[in-house]
């Protein structure tokens, strides 16, 4: 679904920026 795709993209962005997902919450 769209929400799932958005989360996947967000995770990739976070990894590319060397951030932890918990830091973005």
Task: Summarize pLDDT for 1-25 with one digit per residue, the tens.
Answer: 789 999 999 888 877 776 666 665 6
Q: How many CB atoms lie within 10 A of CB 10?
A: 12
pLDDT at 19: 61
Beta carbons of 20 and 14 less than 8 angstroms apart: yes
Element (H, E) at 12: helix 2-16
Task: Look at the chain and report how many structural domains it folds into.
Answer: 1
Domain span including residue 5: 1-25
The reported pTM is 0.43
Q: How far apart are CA 2 and CA 16, in angstroms?
A: 21
Q: How far apart are CA 12 and CA 10, in angstroms?
A: 5
15 — phi, psi (to 5°)?
-65, -40
pLDDT at 8: 93
């Amino acid at each position: 679904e769209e929400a799932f795709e958005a989360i996947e993209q967000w995770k990739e962005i976070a990894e590319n920026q060397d951030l932890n997902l918990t830091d973005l919450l």
